[in-house]
Structure 1
Amino acid sequence: MITARDWEDARVLWDFQRMGHEPRACSVGVGLGSHDLGVADVTAELYRRGLVPLVVFTGATSPTTRARMPRGEAVHYRERAVELGVPEDAILVEPRARNTGENIRFSRDLLAERGTPVDSVLLVSKPYEERRAYATARKLWPAAEFVCASAPLDLPAYAESVGDPRLVLDMLVGAVQRLLLYPARGFMIELPVPLPVTTAYERLRERGFVGRLVAIPAPGTS
């Protein structure tokens, strides 16, 4: 059962993850693979608005997406974007990435191999992973400037669209945990996490929203 207190805490994490960037013209749009086809919808809309001349969709599959996206996240995103009017020759597919770091690195390398100059990226993710995606991209692609974008939904509307509120809360908790742990592991830059966010995060962990946490190495191990 998800209580009113749980929803209040989840909203704190949700609001924190949103970067509040205003979409603007960039060299390329990169849609990060996930279970959420809404990422493809937002990326397609940004293309139709003329904000990017080229789109990269990146992502293989995961336990969460294998059944619903059997051809791979990036491939399903591409198919969706084409349905929404994005020309096929304006889309690149990066089909190997299995985590956010690989999404960024493999997209960066693909564009470099094509000789595509990139100084700015419209980075499209799920709403509750904007800040995590931004911190990862800043670490792994320091030569580029990043503008974050996601579906303009509030938490209740997004949870309803996904159809699995507990999954959304698990993901919110997991995204904050990575912001706390991953800078020390070299996976992302360090961003301040305010006390109200860490307090809400700890309460949700104690309530059992731990389905997307990563293991913490024991002291003395890597």
Structure 2
Amino acid sequence: MDKQKVILKSKLFDKISTITNIKNRLSNDKFEEYDLELNYEVDKCNSLLKKYGYCVLEIDNNNILCEDEVIKIFSYFLKQLGSLIPVFQNENLLWRKIGVNLNKHPQSSEGIGNSPLHIDFVNSTNPPDLVGLLCVKPDINGGGISLVSNIKDASQKLNIKDRKNLMKNIFENGLFYNLSNIGKEYSPFPIIPNKENDFIRFTEKLTELKYSTDINIALKNLLQILNENLICIPLKKFQLLLLDQQQVVHGKTELKGRQENIPISQRRELLQIFIRKNMEKINKHAKILFEFLGKHYSPNKPDFILVLGSSDLRVAEFASQFCIENPTKSIIVSGGYGKVTKDLWNVSEAKKFSDIMIKNGVPNDKIYLDEEATNTGDNIQNAKSIIKRNNLSHTEGVLITKPYMTKRAFNTASKQWDEVKWSSISENISFEDYIEKVDDKDKFINVLVGDLQRIKVYGDKGFQIKEDVPKNVWSSFEYLSKSGFNKFVLKD
């Protein structure tokens, strides 16, 4: 084939569609014959997955390509999203053929009946992040329509009682054998996990089992919500459906007509592939934000310390060490009942931090508590009141906070209490070491993006001192925001 420019384009479908499969082959040949334009489509694909949990990919001019070439191009594209993983040890293939087998159970992947809503490998400790279904041959009678529903949204619509019942560690499904790259067998398991960034482990088959009345009602209610929000996707030849298993469940409708009357070579055929998400590019940009936001402003001769409370108890540990090694006349520990910490502790952030600091040897008589602050501005203004009310020295102050909050804290304090010479420090820790200890990494990156924007926006509004954000840092902000990490981005 002559050198061609191959353009991938991603789409979001909301109409009925048919899903088909690809031949069970994968070639590792080089792509010298193609001029692949991928960066824009990879970013767009990631954004769609983040927002909706699924997207459909197609090659713009696929009519010039044969099946092997389509497989190679999609394989190359998917490698930009993550690691392609073989799961079935007895097959050891990246692309797994799903044809039509009249002898299989109708509801199995190769069966002629409907496929119940599910995530793949629901009973494993680490299911694949992404599942791809590539259509090679649709059902000639128009059946086998792909079904997708957002289980993350559906679980949030349940009442508290149903959610609690589905968080019980009592559910089991099927056997686990000859599988690799997806962890170990997980049985029993909860449907709704305790950790926000874990999989919601659901298969419609669970609704057919007998549990207590309350459990059965919860399962029925979840399934009803999923069915009410079904998206039907009619895939055409050489279209690929990509699913994020942390957000959506999928299935298919039954095949139409008498399949035994259709020649085997013309029956519906899919190729299935599994992907482990690639966070390298995301983390690269997040690190740029982390290091910019975490600039240290070293102290000289401070006469008071202001410790900013949070859910990160390592800040209290670091503050303890600093206060002992650098004695000052007064220490203010600031923080009320935050959105996160109010559910973690039955005391304020300030009280929690001060208890740790006193236990570590910080003099109790030097500590002043602010248990009302709910944001950085409050931290500064309340500390100002405490200092003046107690007639304490305040020539130079040290802010102690989380590693990615030092710049924002410094900029806010320098604007709102400019008679003090401020410094701002934190535990000295790398991005790699810090994020490794974070439970919800997606939320953490969302916070970095939101905080970076506030450096610029709040500076323009006069809440903080103004600061020019370097082009490379702002580019990382824009990349992460467009990639779906915009939960805390301020709207215009």
TM-score calculated relative to the size of structure 1: 0.92
Segments of 4+ moved more than 6 angstroms: none
Aligned pairs for 1:43-62 within 5 A: 43-62=319-338
Q: 2 CA distance for matches of 1:177 and 1:69?
A: 30
Among 434, 438, 445, which residue is 1:169 paired with?
Answer: 445
Asked if structure 1 preserves the Cα contact closer than 8 Å seen for 2:289 and 2:476, the reply is yes
371, 377, 381: which one pairs with 1:105? 381
Choose which of 460, 464, 477 in structure 2 pairs with 1:201. 477
TM-align CA RMSD:
1.5
More displaced stretch, 137-146 vs 183-192? 183-192
Mapped pair 1:83 → 2:352: no
Q: How does 1:68-79 map to 2 (within 5 A)?
A: 68-79=344-355
Cα contact 1:47–1:54 (8 A) shared by 2: no
Q: Deviations over 1:103-147 (max 9, x none)?
A: 111111111110002011110111111111111001101000111
What does the per-residue CA deviation read over 1:58-94, in whole Å, with 9 as the maximum and x for residues that have no partner? Answer: 1112222211233111111111111111121111100
* Corresponding residue of 2:436: 160
Superposed CA offset, 1:18-66 (max 9, x none)? 2233344311110112111122112111111024232111111222221
Q: What are the residue-to-residue correspondences of 1:22-41 with 2, within 5 Å?
A: 22-41=298-317
For 1:214 and 1:79, how far apart are their aligned partners in 2?
Answer: 35
Work out the number of aligned pairs and report it: 216
Which structure's relative contact order is higher, taking Cα pairs within 8 Å and 6+ residues apart? 1
Q: Which moved more, 1:160-169 or 1:178-187?
A: 160-169
Residue in 1 that maps onto 2:458:
182
The alpha carbon displacement at 1:215 in A equals: 3.8
Kindly tell me: are residues 108 and 143 of structure 1, through their superposed partners in 2, closer, same or farther at Cα, counting changes over 3 Å? same
Shift of 1:2: 6.2
Answer yes or no: is the 8 Å Cα contact 2:329–2:393 preserved in 1: no
CA distance in 2, matches of 1:168, 1:23: 28
Higher relative helix content: 1
Are the structure 2 counterparts of residues 94 and 77 from structure 1 closer, same or farther at C-alpha, using a change threshold of 3 Å? same
The letter of the residue matching 2:428 is: P
* Identity over aligned pairs, percent: 26
Whose Rg is larger? 2
Separation in 1, partners of 2:279, 2:325: 40
Q: 1:125 aligns with which of 378, 390, 401?
A: 401
Task: Give the distance between the partners of 2:374 and 2:278, measured in 1 at CA.
Answer: 29
**Cα distance change on mapping 1:205 and 1:164 into 2, 3 Å:** same
Q: 1:17 to 1:51 in 2, by over 3 A?
A: farther
Q: Which has the higher strand share?
A: 2
Q: Is the 8 A contact 1:29 1:43 kept in 2?
A: no
The corresponding residue for 2:139 is none
Query: What letter corresponds to residue 453 of structure 2 in structure 1?
Result: Q
The residue number in structure 2 matching 1:145 is 421
1:157 to partner: Cα distance: 1.2
TM-score, normalized by length of structure 2? Answer: 0.43
Deviations 1:153-180 (A, max 9, x none): 1112112223222222111111101111
